[in-house]
């Protein structure tokens, strides 16, 4: 970009009015973890272009990676920031809490390794990943925990010894109790022949009536009072010993966990960076999945405070969204949108604010690829009929208060969005105030989009330089809005027409029309005429577009037919050349046979042999002449040794080696031929042209070795790919790449179907994983003779 932009801001009031939290929530729902969801929902407009370009670059890298190679590996992770803060206070983390750190470390290493393998595809994303710490040593320390967060016995020698002692004590207690409950003298006092663990001590269930007779110590009663849980006398000491060992085990486990916690606290910076890295990757992945589902694309960036939206769809409307085209900033700084209530004016206004804010958050827009967003220092919006209850302000007062704050802050780089300008008060005064407000913003150079019903503001938009009109369309046949925007034409007032269509007596409607002022009627007639002309132009444009599509289809068909004809011509030429070489060999063999005959026979016999050979040679020469074309003779200047020449009638080209007795020796493709000198035509040296099936058109300039149509529709992509292949083939590439993305595979299948029909395509295949995999197709061209390049 030509210059660095200043800071960008969207105030909290504007953020809420644009419902940006809902939009980010929809995008974040496609993340695979709470880290990714937090990243997306925490996005705010970048403060300057450096940050914006960096965020866009990271997204473009991840998009290319997912399209070309596949999704980034992932597993479930949670944030560890809160745990680190808790650990600073307590100095201790439980085993299951420490597991969260281990999962973060493990996943960051997996993702880093994956990006390292593909760093040539994602250099900017790799620059972020390369700064993630190597956690190999800490992970070894944390391997003392099992998958549930419990310490393994070998976590320390002391823990191993205590755990072994615990198991031994338990085995001794269980062995004794098994014999105890089986003894008839004791079993008759038991509720059942079993033992259990209560409060960390082994007990047996004794019938309540035998409490005073049972040899042991009472621990507790059941809730019903029918059962007493008692320790047999001999088990009491063993339980005491077990309790002591368990306490020592707890102390040793706590000591180990405290040590691990301190290690993690010492790595706080590295852990936070790893979490931020994973948040970024998963957040970008959520944005990628959103862009795939919604056909969203990063808009072009402009250094001017302007915007141009093409087929933009509001993200919150889903399938109900009607694509709109709207622009401002190039040629005019204020856009006034008029039209009926519920016609889509407010949605259009919000769409502008949403698009600018999303673009400055580094997000792709659900719009066509030729949309662009420029530089803005702040976005202001006053929308709806909210009022401040705390200040007890009316709707009109609330609007005025907001506009006053805008006027205090707005600059020539601000975007101001005003809904229902001049509403909420006397129409004439409101309209006059609205015009004055727009004029003040115009003097300051701010970019303004405003909606209104007022005729005075409508007239202002038609007459004032630097101000443009637009309208939301309304279908009088269906009595419903189309939600499309017509740039350059103010909206019509449809109230009287709608009343008539709904059944209002014509006399009443005409009476109403007669009460309109002359200037008002004249304006309505002009606006109606403009709309009628626009509709006629749209119909003409649709017809022209249809004919253009038919012409393109015909051009593709003609190119295919011409290529097939050229292929057949070249095949016929090859067969003719092969036949000519065969005849030449026959003539040379017959000549050699004649010479041999003359040398080996008597004169008379030699004369007869000579005559026979001469007749056979004449037949062969006549046959050769017919293959070359009758009447061919030397044309142009007589060639000299070393000159480029062409054998007349055959299409063979080569270099003249020499001439002897009217017979020329010509080097053609490494072979030497002898042909009559009269059959040669001298040629001027010329640049080598790509050989193969194609058209003899000027060699194109600056053709790239690959083309990307990712995100485009089949209708958009196929003509573009066909045109690119034609230029790349004529440029002389042996092979090229088509980047179509992975997606659902629809675009890839259609491109492959088309490639099968292109005569100068020798073969095609998906690229290797390192080159793009299923997201890229490599196309190889044929050369002259039908071989692959």
533 lies in some domain: no
717 is in which domain, residue-wise?
A: 706-781
On whether both 476 and 422 belong to a single domain, the answer is yes
Helices (H), 393-517: 395-409, 427-444, 455-463, 495-501, 506-515
Predicted local confidence at residue 694, as pLDDT: 36
What is the rounded average pLDDT of the residues 607-622? 57
**CATH number of the domain encompassing residue 764:** 3.30.1370.110
Hey, what are 598's tokens? 């003359």
Least confident of 119-128, 193-202, 458-467: 458-467
What is the tens place of the pLDDT at every residue in 100-124? 999 999 999 999 999 999 999 999 9
**What pLDDT was estimated at residue 526?**
53
pLDDT at 436: 94
3 state DSSP class of 755: helix
In the chain, % of residues over pLDDT 90: 50
What pLDDT, on the 0 to 100 scale, is given for residue 692?
36
Residue 552: per-residue pLDDT:
76
Task: Report the pLDDT value the prediction gives residue 605, as an integer from 0 to 100.
Answer: 60
Q: What is the pLDDT of residue 30?
A: 96
398 compared with 468, residue with greater pLDDT: 468
Q: Is the pLDDT score of 602 beyond 80?
A: no
Same domain, 433 and 462: yes
The pLDDT, as a whole number, for residue 521 is 46
Does 306 score more than 70 pLDDT?
Answer: yes
Domain match, 104 and 37 both: yes
Mean per-residue pLDDT of the chain: 83
Q: Of the ranges 148-157, 213-222, 560-569, which one carries the lowest mean pLDDT score?
A: 560-569
Q: Identify whether residues 47 and 183 lie together within a single domain.
A: no
Residue 585 has pLDDT above 90, yes or no: no
Confidence band of 592 (pLDDT split at 50, 70, 90): low
Domain boundary among 469, 491, 515: 515
pLDDT at 325: 93
The stretch 665-683 carries a mean pLDDT of 72
- With cut-offs at 50, 70 and 90, classify the pLDDT of residue 256: very high
Q: Determine the pLDDT at residue 387.
A: 39
Whether the pLDDT of residue 442 is over 70: the answer is: yes
Last residue of one domain, picked from the residues 465, 484, 515: 515
Q: Is residue 534 part of a domain?
A: no
CATH number of the domain that 170 lies in? 1.10.1420.10
d(CA 130, CA 117): 12
308: β partners: 327, 372
Domain stop point among 450, 481, 515: 515
Q: Which CATH number covers residue 452? A: 3.40.50.300
Residue 219 has pLDDT above 60, yes or no: yes
Examine the domain organization and report whether 657 and 759 are in the same domain: no
% of the chain residues with pLDDT over 70: 78
Same domain, 228 and 169: yes
Query: For residue range 361-378, what is the model confidence (pLDDT) as tens digits?
Result: 999 999 998 999 999 999
Tell me the average pLDDT across 2-25: 83
Closest CA to 654 of 664, 389, 451, 348: 664
Give the integer Cα–Cα distance in Å for 557 and 738: 22
Q: What pLDDT sits at residue 370? A: 92
Pick 472 or 650 by higher pLDDT. 472
Same domain, 100 and 45: yes
Q: Do residues 341 and 425 both lie within one domain? A: yes
419 and 377 co-located in one domain:
yes
Residue 515, pLDDT > 90, answer no
pTM across the whole model: 0.65
Number of neighbouring beta carbons within 10 Å of residue 258: 15
Report how far residue 624's alpha carbon sits from residue 650's, in angstroms, rounded to the nearest whole number: 10
Q: Are 572 and 646 in contact (CB under 8 A)?
A: no
Angle, alpha carbons 331-357-390 (nearest 5°): 110
Same domain, 288 and 308: no
548 lies in some domain: no
The pLDDT of residue 493: 61
Tokens of 226: 């029918």
Whether 603 is covered by a domain: the verdict is no
Q: How confident is the model at residue 560 (pLDDT cuts 50, 70, 90)?
A: confident
Both ends of the chain: CA-CA distance in Å? 39
Stronger pLDDT, 672 or 445, i.e. the higher one? 445
pLDDT digits (tens, 9 = 90+) for 170-190: 999 999 999 999 999 889 999
Which pLDDT does position 700 carry in this prediction? Answer: 63
Read off the pLDDT band of 392 (50, 70, 90). very low
Dihedral sign computed on CA atoms, order 245, 250, 251, 253: positive
| Chain segment 731-768, per-residue pLDDT in tens | 888 889 998 888 778 888 899 989 988 888 889 999 88
Q: Can you give the CATH number for the domain in which 665 is found?
A: 2.30.30.30
d(C-alpha 89, C-alpha 101), whole Å? 18
Task: Tell me: pLDDT of 266 over 60.
Answer: yes
**Which of 44-58, 497-511, 759-773 shows the lowest per-residue confidence on average (mean pLDDT)?**
497-511
Q: How many domains does the chain have?
A: 5
* Residue 689 confidence (pLDDT): 41
Residue 113 sits in the same domain as residue 222? no
The predicted model gives 635-640 an average pLDDT of 62
Same domain, 389 and 494: yes
pLDDT band of residue 587 (cuts 50, 70, 90) is: low
267: pLDDT strictly greater than 50: yes
**727 pLDDT tier (thresholds 50, 70, 90):** confident
What pLDDT does residue 538 have? Answer: 62
Q: Is residue 590 part of a domain?
A: no
**Please, are residues 192 and 211 in contact by the beta-carbon 8 Å criterion?**
no
Judged by DSSP in three states, 149 sits in coil
């Amino acid at each position: 970009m030509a210059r660095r932009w200043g800071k960008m801001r969207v105030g909290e009031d504007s953020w809420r009015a644009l419902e940006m939290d809902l939009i980010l929530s929809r995008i974040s729902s496609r993340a695979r973890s709470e880290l990714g969801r937090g990243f997306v929902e925490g996005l705010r407009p970048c403060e300057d272009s450096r940050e914006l370009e960096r965020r866009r670059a990271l997204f473009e890298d991840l998009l290319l990676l997912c399209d070309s190679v596949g999704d980034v590996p992932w597993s479930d992770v949670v944030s560890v920031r809160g745990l680190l803060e808790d650990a600073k206070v307590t100095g201790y983390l439980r085993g299951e809490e420490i597991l969260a750190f281990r999962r973060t470390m493990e996943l960051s290493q997996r993702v880093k390794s994956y990006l390292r393998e593909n760093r040539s595809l994602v250099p900017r994303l790799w620059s972020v990943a390369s700064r993630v710490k190597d956690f190999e040593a800490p992970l070894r320390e944390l391997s003392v925990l099992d998958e549930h967060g419990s310490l393994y016995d070998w976590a320390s020698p002391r823990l191993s010894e205590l755990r072994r002692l615990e198991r031994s004590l338990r085995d001794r207690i269980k062995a004794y109790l098994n014999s105890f409950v089986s003894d008839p003298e004791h079993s008759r006092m038991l509720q059942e022949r079993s033992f259990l663990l209560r409060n960390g001590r082994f007990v047996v269930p004794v019938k309540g009536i035998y409490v005073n007779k049972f040899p042991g110590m009472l621990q507790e009663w059941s809730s019903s009072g029918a059962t007493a849980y008692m320790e047999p006398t001999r088990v009491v000491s063993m339980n005491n010993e077990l309790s002591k060992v368990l306490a020592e085990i707890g102390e040793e486990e706590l000591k180990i966990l405290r040590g691990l916690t301190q290690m993690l606290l010492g790595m706080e910076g590295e852990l936070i960076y790893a979490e931020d890295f994973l948040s970024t990757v998963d957040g970008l992945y959520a944005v990628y999945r959103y862009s795939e589902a919604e056909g969203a694309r990063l808009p072009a960036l402009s250094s001017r405070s302007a915007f141009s939206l093409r087929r933009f769809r509001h993200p919150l409307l889903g399938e109900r969204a009607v694509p709109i085209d709207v622009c401002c900033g190039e040629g005019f700084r204020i856009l006034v949108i008029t039209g009926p209530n519920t016609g889509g004016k407010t949605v259009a206004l919000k769409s502008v604010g949403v698009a600018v804010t999303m673009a400055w958050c580094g997000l792709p827009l659900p719009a066509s690829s030729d949309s662009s967003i420029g530089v803005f220092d702040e976005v202001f919006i006053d929308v709806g009929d909210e009022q401040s209850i705390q200040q007890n302000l009316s709707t009109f007062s609330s609007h005025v208060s907001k506009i006053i704050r805008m006027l205090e802050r707005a600059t020539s780089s601000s975007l101001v969005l005003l809904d229902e300008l001049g509403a909420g008060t006397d129409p004439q005064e409101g309209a006059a105030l609205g015009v004055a407000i727009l004029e003040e913003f115009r003097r300051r150079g701010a970019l303004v989009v405003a909606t209104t019903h007022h005729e005075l503001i409508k007239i202002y938009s038609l007459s004032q330089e630097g101000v443009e009109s637009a309208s939301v369309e309304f279908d009088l046949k269906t009595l419903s809005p189309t939600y499309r925007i017509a740039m350059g034409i103010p909206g019509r007032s449809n109230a009287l027409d709608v009343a008539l269509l709904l059944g209002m007596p014509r006399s009443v409607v005409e009476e109403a029309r007669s009460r309109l002022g002359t200037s008002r009627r004249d304006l309505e007639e002009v606006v109606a005429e403009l709309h009628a002309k626009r509709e006629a132009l749209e119909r003409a444009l649709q017809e022209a577009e249809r004919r253009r599509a038919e012409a393109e289809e015909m051009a593709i068909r003609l190119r295919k037919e011409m290529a097939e004809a050229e292929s057949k011509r070249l095949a016929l030429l090859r067969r003719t050349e092969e036949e000519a070489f065969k005849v030449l060999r026959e003539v040379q063999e017959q000549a050699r046979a004649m010479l041999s005959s003359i040398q080996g026979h008597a004169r008379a016999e030699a004369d007869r042999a000579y005559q026979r050979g001469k007749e056979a040679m004449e037949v062969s020469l006549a046959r050769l002449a017919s293959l070359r074309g009758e009447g061919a003779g030397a044309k142009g200047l007589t060639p000299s040794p070393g000159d480029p020449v062409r054998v007349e009638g055959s299409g063979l080209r080569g270099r003249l080696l020499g001439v002897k007795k009217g017979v020329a020796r010509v080097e053609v493709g490494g072979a030497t031929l002898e042909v009559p000198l009269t059959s040669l035509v001298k040629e001027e040296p010329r640049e080598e042209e790509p050989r193969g099936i194609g058209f003899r058109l000027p060699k194109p300039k600056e053709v790239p070795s690959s083309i990307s149509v990712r995100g485009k529709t089949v209708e958009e992509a196929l003509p573009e790919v066909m045109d690119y292949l034609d230029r790349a083939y004529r440029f002389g590439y042996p092979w090229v790449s088509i980047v179509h993305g992975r997606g659902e595979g629809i675009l890839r299948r259609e491109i492959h179907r088309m490639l099968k029909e292109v005569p100068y395509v020798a073969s095609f295949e998906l690229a290797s994983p390192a080159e793009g995999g299923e997201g890229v197709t490599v196309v190889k061209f044929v050369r002259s003779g039908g071989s692959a390049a």
